[in-house]
Structure 1
Amino acid sequence: MKLAIVTDSTAFLPERIQKHPDLFIMPIPAILDGQIYNEGIDIEADEYYGLLKNSKEFPTTSQPALGEALELYESIAAKGYDTIISIHLSSGISGFVNNLHTIENAIDGVKIIPYDSKITSMPMGHMVEVAVDGIDQEKSLAEILVHLDVIRDNTHAYLIIDDLNNLVRGGRLTNGAAVVAGLLKIKPVLTFEEGKIVLFEKIRSSKKAFNRAEEVIGQHKDEIKHPVKLYVIHANNLEMALEEQKKLQERYPDVPVEIGYFGPVIGTHLGEKAIGLAISAQ
């Protein structure tokens, strides 16, 4: 077996694997004021948030075309690979990973495995890292997929959003939750449920929202039967992210706490200043 790993640009990847020869990345486009930006190619997160703040039109995102995905798979097959695990952002956010099933048998002699991470950003990047490391460690396909399932089944994320408008207008959160949040002047904590972004709890202040998310992360830590790691992910809000990283590290000193950022595509939906706290099995 010669195995390749494919992912998309919403994954926050550790630097050490970004140029791994068996890893291939599909860019996902963000559209701002009629201009298409391919994440990680045409624009990086810092620059994008500046444009987002001053955009005249509501920003949108798009899926890569299936034809582009097929071209990538064919180019990978031409390099001698016979197996591809394609790890992508949650089907609850984008239909892309489900669409990949329509081409999973399109290349003779190549086994294509579309894998729904049911999450995005850092936890998804961790799945990619584990898959790439599995290749280097000469693990079997079954062993790698089992490890991915363990991570996916033991990943929990909580989002504290500065402004719900982007999520609502983009169709990633129910209007009802946003309306209630606006009326009561609350700070909602959102989470992923079966890969979809849903309201977790309504909290009265930003400080209490962060405290609640930190507390729930700890509850998951006690429940997960594997070593875990924690993540703080920000949308152009590094100062708050560093503060949260410090609080989590003090609260859970035996667990590594990594920090990263939401790229343009996820940032488009969450809006600037959003913070995500997450936990996953290692």
Structure 2
Amino acid sequence: MSSAPQGISYLDGIRLNRCLCASFERLISAQDQLNKINVFPVPDGDTGTNLAATADSIGVCIQQLDTRHAGELLIQVADAALDGARGNSGAIIAQFFQGLADSCEDKSRLLPADFVEGFQAGADYARSAIADPKHGTILTLIDEVAIKLTEYHQQNPDRGFISLLQHTLKRARIALAETQQQLEVLRQAGVVDAGAKGFMLLIEGISNFLSRGSLREVPVPRTDPGAVDALTGFESHEGDIDHRYCTECLIHGEHIDHRKLRERLSPLGSSMIIAGTPRKSKIHIHVDEPAAVFEIAGSYGELTGRKADDMHQQAHAVSSGNRRYAVITDSAADLPDTAMEDYDIHVVPVRVQFGNASYLDKVGMTHQQFFQELKTNPELPKTSQPAPGDYRRMYDFLCSHFEHVFCISLTAKLSGTWQAARNAAERARKPEAITLIDSRSASLGQGLIALHAAECIAAGLEQAEITQSIEAIRERTRTFALITDLSYAVRGGRVHPAVHQLARLLGIHPILHAPGNGKVGPGGFIFSGKGRLKRFIRYLSRQLDPDTRYRIGVAHADNKAAAIEVHDELLRLNTNIVDSYITDLGAALGAHVGPDTVGMAAQEDTPMPTDKKNPDN
């Protein structure tokens, strides 16, 4: 590769594009190490993943562009950054690029003076996006770089980009090291701020490319070991997390008032960032009730890119250094929150759409809110699989902390969720570290299979043993649901209206059955009227072999009293049930079976092939 000239005096769109591509590759290559030093604002170990997702979003966009106009390129960069921004640092970087683009939009070529002025505008924009900026973070580093760029250029107005960036980086590295002493949590952990380190990698990437790359060639993705060696060895530290969900969305509207939006969102949580323009704005905030954020944001325009990551679970996963493997499932799996938390089962939410209003299943609205909306809204909800990007972020985050990830999906014969998970796995950074397994089930059955996978991990089984055990347990897991109102299935197109009319005429309620082969269909019926729940309980008891031990789960669609009755009676009638739980029925199945539905899944209590952690068990 030919050496770049030492006196680069301008960057047009083509040159700037290649500089940015090299810069993003440098950042993406370091995401695992950035995750390991992420302790502020919360120790959830995902700053590297979020910054990489932001950089990847921009990179995918600009690799398709061939404009020679630097300002036009930066406008596209800012827009792509806003669309793809993830996490605190991602949102701040998106706002930085917005300021840089606004300052340089009419410049076909960036001279050093233009770059310095634009960088300062970016720093100002970034700081304005933060409700409560802290010293010792990515903002501190951006400010220090802006100051040093200005000072050096004023003293050396005739020097080109290489000298400008190299001299600035000397001060920036000092500023980065100082962040360790500027925030107590960083000092205690013995690390620098992860977001600041990520921004430093971006600047280093541009500087190194200008010094050693070729402005005539598109940079080849590569990992620079020297850029990440200083991070190796750091591990995440647990700390206090004031709010549970890292919540984000993108507003598309007209005249979005950031000040008023900030005033309405501030009481809900912390770490708030509002980036973007009056027509497209990115919200990032840590809250306990994501639905409240989406409701307020939705009053300003159309929402896209909803996200609500469980930071408690992420922090717990990061601190669980004794586990080599992790489990992911989608929100179609119905399990109690306590089981999800105890076994670190990570969930990618299904999307739920009521007319023009869109929600994240089990996050964007509560169980009770969903079924109340189902009863009163004339528009039947539609459910759709998670976006592949949701899976990919989860894969990349977990693969940076675990050797291998097992993903248990909703049956492929009912939904495109399995395909979305597969597409994301193929595009993940470490596809070889991901095993995708079709649960061949749904709801409670899928939840029990995910729980079994987590128990295999806790027992210390190896990767091949875990896969074999999960695949075997699918055939030993069956799910049943009593549907008392077929009208929801008819409206959703799952059942022909004539079937509904016949059921009403005969006075019967169908029982849905998922036998573990991927299909869900009729499993029988009971007569309606008084005593129907007891008849359903007797039906369920007949499905249980008295010589086999079972674990069962019972779920309800806003009908907890019925679930308790089913659960307690099954335990009384069947002494071979060794474990059980009651939970809420999620929207993925609830949208089709309607309110008051009660379901049960039974899984044979199969001993682990070996329990390496507890050999006496």
TM over 0.5: yes
Contact kept in structure 2, 1:91 and 1:118, CA below 8 Å: yes
CA RMSD, aligned part only?
2.7
How far apart are 1:121 and its partner, in Å? 2.7
Report the secondary structure of 2:341's partner residue. coil
Q: Which residue of 1 aligns with 2:526?
A: 203
Matched, 1:275 2:590: no
Query: One-letter code of the match for 1:133?
Result: E
Number of the residue aligned with 1:87: 408
Q: Name whichever of 155-164 and 141-150 sits farther off.
A: 141-150
**What amino acid maps onto 1:181 in structure 2?**
A
Using the alignment, how far apart are the partners of 1:113 and 1:45 within structure 2? 30
2:368 corresponds in structure 1 to 46
Structure with greater proportional helix content: 2
Q: Secondary structure at the match of 1:222?
A: coil
Question: So what's the TM-score if we normalise by structure 1?
Answer: 0.86
- Alignment match of 1:261 (pick from 565, 584, 593): 584
Secondary structure, counterpart of 1:104 in structure 2: helix
Q: What amino acid does structure 1 have at the position aligned with 2:384? A: S
Letter of the structure 2 residue corresponding to residue 200 of structure 1:
G
Once the two structures are TM-superposed, the CA of residue 175 in structure 1 deviates from its matched residue by 5.4
| Corresponding position of 2:419 | 98
Hey, what does 1:189 align to over in structure 2? 511
1:72 CA drift (Å):
2.2
Give 1:206 shift.
Answer: 4.9
Larger Rg: 2
Bigger shift: 42-51 or 132-141? 132-141
- Could you report, residue by residue, the CA deviation over 1:122-152 in whole angstroms, capped at 9, with x for unpaired residues? 3322222222232232211222223323331
Deviations 1:154-184 (A, max 9, x none): 1222211121122233244455643432343
SS of the aligned residue for 1:74 comes to: helix
Distance of aligned partners of 1:207 and 1:259 in 2 relative to their CA distance in 1, 3 Å threshold: farther
Match of 1:214 in 2: 537
Q: Would the alpha carbon gap of residues 89 and 146 (structure 1) be closer, same or farther in structure 2, given more than 3 Å must change?
A: same
Q: Secondary structure at the match of 1:19?
A: helix
Distance 2:581 2:470 in 1: 19
- State the distance in 1 between where 2:482 and 2:434 align: 36
CA contact (8 A) 2:488 2:593 kept: yes
- SS of match in other structure, 2:427: coil
Q: CA deviation digits over 1:9-48, x for unaligned, max 9?
A: 2222344443358532101111123211101221110122
The 5 A counterparts of 1:117-266 are: 117-173=439-495, 177-193=499-515, 194-206=517-529, 210-211=533-534, 213-222=536-545, 227-255=549-577, 256-266=579-589
**Higher RCO (CA-CA < 8 Å; seq separation 6+):** 1
C-alpha deviation, 1:89, in angstroms: 1.8
The DSSP-based 3-state class of the residue aligned with 1:236 is coil
Read off the aligned partner of 1:166 and give its amino acid letter.
Y
**Cα displacement (A) at 1:94:** 1.3
Mean CA deviation greater in 260-269 or 207-216:
207-216
Establish whether residue 27 from structure 1 lines up as the match of residue 349 from structure 2: yes
Tell me: CA distance 1:132–1:84, structure 2 relative to 1, closer, same or farther (3 Å).
same
Match of 1:6 in 2: 328
Distance in 2 (CA, whole Å) between partners of 1:161 and 1:90 is 20
Structure 2 counterpart of 1:101, one-letter code: R
Contact map agreement 1:217 1:278 (CA 8 A) in 2: no
Equivalent pair of 2:343/2:454 in contact (CA under 8 Å): no
CA 1:179/1:95 → structure 2, altered by over 3 Å: closer, same or farther? farther
| AA partner of residue 88 (structure 1) | S
1:168-218: CA deviation from partner (whole Å, max 9, x where unpaired): 332444556434323433222221253333122243325675455434433
Change (3 A) 1:56 1:245: same
Change (3 A) 1:99 1:42: closer
Following TM superposition, by how much is the alpha carbon of 1:84 offset from its aligned partner in structure 2, in angstroms?
1.6
- Taking structure 2 as the reference length, the TM-score comes to 0.42
8 A contact 1:173–1:198 mirrored in 2: no
Task: Tell whether the 8 Å contact from 2:395 to 2:425 is kept in structure 1 after alignment.
Answer: no
In 2, the alpha carbon distance for the partners of 1:29 and 1:68 equals 11
Q: Distance in 2 between matches of 1:21 and 1:213?
A: 31
Question: Structure 1 residues 177, 65: CA separation in 2 closer, same or farther (over 3 Å shift)?
Answer: same
The answer (yes or no) to whether the contact 2:387–2:420 under 8 Å persists in 1 is: no
| Structure 2, unaligned runs of 5 or more | 1-322, 606-617
User: Alpha-carbon deviation of 1:73?
Assistant: 1.5
Higher strand share: 1
**Deviations 1:224-272, CA, capped at 9 Å, x for gaps:** x753122321100111112222221221134144222202232111100
